[in-house]
Amino acid sequence: MNNNEVMKKLRVALQLRDDDIIEILKLANFRTTKTELSAIFRAEDHPNYMLCKDQLLRNFLNGLVIYKRGPMPKKEPKPTTDKKDNSKPPQGKP
């Protein structure tokens, strides 16, 4: 099964339109056009067929996670505690 077949099956299973797929790809900071998507979903023997590369499928899957789950919450930095600074090496006798 190649990437084009995976994209076709996901589109049907999730009932996604081209606009939805473009929006999902935007969530992963990947830009594409309807024309490129149309070429990916064409039959292999069609003159305008385009192979779906790994980068597009990877970004689609990453965007799909964000689309379904929502964006990851930003982690706040942990507050630092006032511990004794042990970064200096111990001083020897003079």
94 in a structural domain: no
User: Does residue 14 lie in a domain region?
Assistant: yes
For residue 49, being part of any structural domain is answered with yes
Residue 26 belongs to domain spanning: 3-69
Three-state SS string across the chain, please?
CCHHHHHHHHHHHCCCCHHHHHHHHHHCCCCCCHHHHHHHCCCCCCCCCCCCCHHHHHHHHHHHHHHHHCCCCCCCCCCCCCCCCCCCCCCCCC
pLDDT of residue 59: 96
Residue 63 within a domain: yes
Residue 77 lies in a domain: no
pLDDT above 80: residue 47: yes
What is the pLDDT, as a whole number, of residue 58?
A: 96
Query: What average pLDDT does the segment 21-27 reach?
Result: 95
The Cα–Cα gap between 32 and 39 comes to: 11
pTM above 0.85, yes or no: no
Task: Tell me if 9 is assigned to some domain.
Answer: yes
Q: How many domains does the chain have?
A: 1
Percent of the chain with pLDDT over 70: 86
Q: Token pair 């992963």 is at which residue?
A: 28
pLDDT of residue 50 exceeding 70? yes
